[in-house]
Structure 1
Amino acid sequence: MGRVEGKVALVTGGASGIGLSSAQLLAKEGAKVVIGDFNIEGAKKEAEALQQQGFEATAIFLDAGNADSIKEAVEFTVNTYGTITTLFNNVGLTNLRKDLDVVNMDLDEWDRLMNVNLKSVLLGSRFAIPYMQKAGGGSIINTTSMAAFASDAVRSAYGASKAAVAQLTKYIATQYGKDKIRCNAVAPGLILTPAAKNNMPQGMLDIFSKYNALPYHGEPNDIGYTVVFLASDESKFMTGQVLQVEGGHYIANPSIADVQAWTEQQK
C-alpha cells in the first residue's frame, strides 16, 4: 500500500480491461483516481465500487476522439483533486473488418484510428503538462502495443498508430524532462481482457500460447502493476522508455517453437 500515495491520476479508457485494472491498483496504492471513459455508466460503477472500499475515485465521460472532451477530463481532474500528477493515456481502438492490409483497408478507418489512438495521446499530454509543470512534475504513461514493433497481415492503421505513440513518448520525455515530467509507455502483448476472452476463439489463443516463452497468457493486472510502477517514484529515473509486457512472445526467432516441436518428433 502507498506506492503512489498523494498522486492524482486520470486514466483514460478506465472502465474495463487494462484501464480498469490500472485505475483499481492506482487507487489501492494511494492515488486519487479519475476514470475517464466513453462508457460513463461503467466508469461510474467502477468508481463507486472503489469508493465503497474506502479509496478515492470518481468518473467522467471521455470521448478520446474529441479534443474538447479530453480537455474537459483533464480540467475535471484538476478541479476535483487540485492537480494532476499522473496521466495514463490508455484508449485504443482496432477494427479487424476495416483495418486490413494497405491495399484494401478503409481509409476512413485509418483516419479514425490515428485520431483516437495517436492524437488522443498528444492532446491528453498537451492539456495535462501545464498542470504538471505547476505541480513540480508528473508521470505520463502511454499504452502502445507490440504491434508497434512486429507487423501483421492486417491492422495496418493500428500498428502504425501504436508505433507513433511509442515515438511520441520519447519526444514528450525529451521536451519536458527538465520540468520533472516523465513520459514512458507500456507495450502489451496479448492480454486476456474481457474483450479478448469474448472475441478470441480457443484455437486463436492456442496459437499465441505456442509462441509465448511463458506457459500462460497475460492478465490485465500484469499491465496494471506496470502502470503503478511507472506512476510511482520507484521509476523516477526512467523516462522515454517502452516497457514490453508480452510474455516473451516476441523475443525468439519465430521458427524456434516449430524447430523444438520437430526435434521432439525425431526422438
Structure 2
Amino acid sequence: MGRVQGKVALITGGASGIGLSAATLLAQEGAKVVIADFNVDAAVEAATSLKSQGFEASGVFLDAGKEESIKEAVEFTVATYGTINVLHNNVGLTNLRKDLDVINMDLEEWDHLMDVNLKSVLLGSRFALPYMIKAGGGSIINTASMAGFAGDVTRTAYGASKGAVVNLTKYIAAQYGKHKIRCNGVAPGLILTPAAEKNMPPAVLDIFGKFNALPYHGEADDIGYTVLFLASDESKFITGQTIQVEGGHYGNNPTIADFTDYMFQVQAKK
C-alpha cells in the first residue's frame, strides 16, 4: 500500500476497461484520482464506488475530441485536489468498418482518430505540464498499442496514431525531463476487457493466442499495474520508454507458431 500516496492522478477514458483498472489501482495505492470519460455517468459511478471503499475519487465528463473539454478536465482535477502529479492519457478509438487499408479507408475517420487517439495526448499533456512543473515534477503515461510497432492489413489510422503516440512520448520526455517530469507509454496487446470479451469472436481470440509467447491473453489489470509502476517513484529513472505488454506477441520469430504445429505433425507421423 502507499506506492503513490498523496499523488493526484487524472485518468482519461477511466470509466471502464484499462482506465478503470488504472484508476482503481492508483486509488488503492494512495492517489487521489479523477476519472474522466465521455460516459460521465459511468465515471461518476466508478468514483462513487471508490469513495465507498474509503478512497478519494471524482468523476468528470471528457470529450477527448475537443480541446476545451480536455482543458476543463485538467482544471477540474487541479481545482478539486490542488495539483496534478500523474496524467494517464488513455482514451483511444478504433473503427473496423471505416478504418481500412490506405486506398479504401474513410479519410474523415482518419482525421477523427488522429484527434482522439493522438491530439488528445498532446493536449492533455500540454494542459497538465504547467501544473506539474509548478508541483516540482510528475509522470505522464500514454496508452499506445502493439499496433504502433508493426504493420497490419487494416486499421491504418489506428496504427499510425498509436505509432505517433510512441514517438510523442519520447518528445515530451526529452523536452520536460529537466523539470523532473517523466513521460512513458504502455502498449497493450489484446486485452480481455469486458468489451473485448463481448465483441471479439472466439476465432480471433484463437489467432491472437496462437502467436502469443504466453499461453493466455492479457487482462485489464496487466496494463493497470504497469501504469501504477510508471506513476510511482519506483520508475523514477525511466522516461521516454513505451513498455509493450502484449504477451510476447511481437517478441518472437513470426514463424514459430506455424513451425511448432509442423513439428507436432512430423512427430505424430513417426
Q: Shorter-chain TM-score: which interval?
A: over 0.9
How much does 1:151 deviate? 1.1
Superposition map of 1:173-188 within 5 A: 173-188=173-188
Q: Which amino acid aligns with 1:184?
A: N
User: Whole-Å Cα distance in 2 between the matches of residues 201 and 124 of structure 1?
Assistant: 34
How much does 1:109 deviate? 0.1
Q: Which residue of 2 aligns with 1:35?
A: 35
- Structure 1 segments, 4+ long, off by >2 Å, are none
User: Whole-Å Cα distance in 2 between the matches of residues 130 and 67 of structure 1?
Assistant: 16
Q: Which residue of 2 aligns with 1:89?
A: 89
Q: Deviations over 1:207-253 (max 9, x none)?
A: 11111111100000000000000000000000000000000111111
Is the partner of 1:35 in helix, strand or coil? Answer: strand
Is 1:55 matched with 2:55?
yes
Is the partner of 1:46 in helix, strand or coil? Answer: helix
Q: Which residue of 2 aligns with 1:216?
A: 216
Q: Which residue of 2 aligns with 1:71?
A: 71
User: Whole-Å Cα distance in 1 between the matches of residues 154 and 13 of structure 2?
Assistant: 24
Is the partner of 1:182 in helix, strand or coil? Answer: strand
How much does 1:203 deviate? 1.1
Q: Which residue of 2 aligns with 1:198?
A: 198
User: Whole-Å Cα distance in 1 between the matches of residues 102 and 187 of structure 2?
Assistant: 23
Structure 2: segments with no counterpart, 5+ residues: none
Q: Which amino acid aligns with 1:194?
A: P
Is the partner of 2:226 in helix, strand or coil? Answer: helix
RMSD over aligned Cα atoms: 0.4
Q: Identity rate of aligned residues, in percent?
A: 75
How much does 1:150 deviate? 1.2
User: Whole-Å Cα distance in 1 between the matches of residues 16 and 250 of structure 2?
Assistant: 26
Aligned residues: 267
Q: Which amino acid aligns with 2:30?
A: G
How much does 1:257 deviate? 0.6
Q: Normalising by structure 2, report the TM-score.
A: 0.98
Q: Normalising by structure 1, report the TM-score.
A: 0.99
Structure 1: segments with no counterpart, 5+ residues: none
Superposition map of 1:65-144 within 5 A: 65-144=65-144
How much does 1:132 deviate? 0.2
Q: Which residue of 2 aligns with 1:4?
A: 4
